[in-house]
């Protein structure tokens, strides 16, 4: 939880115009998606959609990894 809040604070300072719901969604995705198996991602995204209905966040393009 703390890592998500720290990441959300960093994102909010970098983009002060971004709405807080979108900041939280992006922070949760950035902190958790790398830890999940591919099969778990649809469930995680469904939970995010249930928690924040109607909010869409533009995906980050991290280039080639």
In a domain? residue 18 = yes
At 37 the pLDDT is 94
Cα 20 from Cα 25, distance rounded (Å): 9
Cα 53 from Cα 5, distance rounded (Å): 20
List the domain range (segments joined by +) for residue 41. 2-51
Is residue 65 very low, low, confident or very high in pLDDT (cuts 50, 70, 90)? Answer: low
What's the pLDDT tens digit per position in 7-26?
999 989 998 998 999 999 99
In a domain? residue 65 = no
- State how many domains the chain has: 1
């Amino acid at each position: 939880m703390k890592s998500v809040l720290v990441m959300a604070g960093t994102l909010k300072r970098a983009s002060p115009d971004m709405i807080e719901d979108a900041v939280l969604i992006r922070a949760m995705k950035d902190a958790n998606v790398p830890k999940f198996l591919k099969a778990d991602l649809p469930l995680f995204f469904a939970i995010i959609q249930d928690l924040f209905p109607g909010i869409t966040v533009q995906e980050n393009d991290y280039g080639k990894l």
